[in-house]
Chains A and B, each alone.
Chain A
């Protein structure tokens, strides 16, 4: 796999570390809420784990040290797009 890093250009996947699904958003624990435990459980453990398109975090440790959001097909490893995670709207 080659990941098209927006900063460094297309680079071998071995330069990157994987975090996983970019969809889970950490619930705001500062706001006391009755179902905060359920929300944290969901955030930490549960995954959609799709067979198909997945938006996921990769860290370019051997390159620009940027966090990327990569859209990839888990059935074929085909990479559709990559963008800097910073450019994503914050949760």
Chain B
């Protein structure tokens, strides 16, 4: 069913009893052209673009749990393309452009809201670094504005400008950045892919790969063996575990990051703000909850929950930036798993096994890249060659030294 004002009126008059499930909960078949391991945002987007851009519809998305239960439902919904390095900017800007047309494209309300992302700076050195970043963005056709103290004060008068330790000097603003309803992204891509013939199979965990003479021929799953010409892995958070089944060791550690939501409040924060002196960022959801987070916990984890020292650290950051937040009560917090790659940038590449493709290493920034990641991964799978926007995101860059070290932290995954 195509959603429109007409479909809404018709169903409203019929008491909303005519709505159908938005995608087919498919049973796995014995064979597919392409099997995508992982039904998160990236896997679903990959299936969608495989069908829509490349006409490849004999596709299964295998999800070990349920659609929307992993990282696509655990992030803080921020989208932006304020990157510095040439290897990164094209992909994130492609993603940003896809966000801008996404709802019309897949006929689904993902609540894309370009409310602006502001990165605050608190010192002269930080200002210079942001000016450089903003210039790099503009060279690549991305919007960026360097605001001074007064510019930030006009936007967010309630911030703690005159903190003795970290006074707010200004900020780098990307007005096209913002937030997107993350669940709706999963549902919208699932619906778009399913409508085009893709099988979305839930509760189907991949337990092994069938590899013959260096070529992948299928997967073993908790619901039986499935043959496939091509297999694509998009399981960020658990990439090392899945890749190990295909005999690979990855330059990745799995970590946990926590996020928080306050009780619903009246509108106070129109956009997204990041604190430049600590690690803290905040926005307000359309329901009114303050959505915020900070650093990763910093140790290897598959637990999907963190520990209290980071809760304290995040709340301290919030109080330093925006003392009014101390009046709000935290409603809930949770953790999500991260593929922390050794240089802080993702991997979208072929693997040493023919027909096996890898999409991994998203660190804590996977959600914003969902459309772009799916788009370029679909290209890689369909054409067996990288998309022009993702030529740097190679698996072998760690061996050859062509790191994309956006944060300048080196090979320290717990620092990225």
Contact = CB atoms under 8 A, between A and B. Distances in A.
Interface of A: 1, 12-14, 18, 20-21, 41, 44-51, 54, 56, 72, 74-77
Contact of A48 (B238, B249, B298): B249
Contacts of A20: 253, 300, 413-414
Range class of the B interface residue count: 20 to 34
Contact of B303 (A48, A54, A74): A74
Nearest to B413: A20
Nearest to A12: B309
A72 B241 CA distance: 17
Pick the 9 closest A-B CB pairs, nearest first. Answer: A49-B240, A14-B309, A45-B251, A51-B302, A45-B398, A46-B249, A18-B299, A75-B302, A45-B342
Interface in B289-307: 298-303, 307
Given A12-B309, A13-B299, A48-B240, 12 more contacts: A13-B307, A18-B298, A18-B299, A21-B253, A45-B251, A47-B249, A49-B250, A49-B253, A56-B300, A75-B302, A75-B303, A76-B303
A76 B289 CA distance: 29
B194 interface: no
Interface in B68-91: none
Contact of B302 (A13, A14, A74): A74
A41 B299 CA distance: 22
Contacts of B399: 41, 45
B67 interface: no
A65 B244 CA distance: 35
B360 to A, nearest CB: 11
Contacts of A54: 300
A83 B266 CA distance: 51
B292 to A, nearest CB: 20
A77 B301 contact: yes
A76 to B, nearest CB: 6
7 contacts: A12-B309, A14-B312, A49-B254, A50-B240, A72-B299, A74-B300, A76-B303
B252 interface: yes
A21 B302 CA distance: 14
B309 A47 contact: no
Interface in B246-265: 249-254
B302 A1 contact: no
Interface in B371-398: 398
A75 to B, nearest CB: 5
A45 B300 CA distance: 15
A21 B298 CA distance: 12
Interface in B89-103: none
B251 A47 contact: yes
Nearest to A40: B399
B305 to A, nearest CB: 8
A20 B411 CA distance: 12
B300 A21 contact: yes
A14 B251 CA distance: 26
A54 B300 CA distance: 9
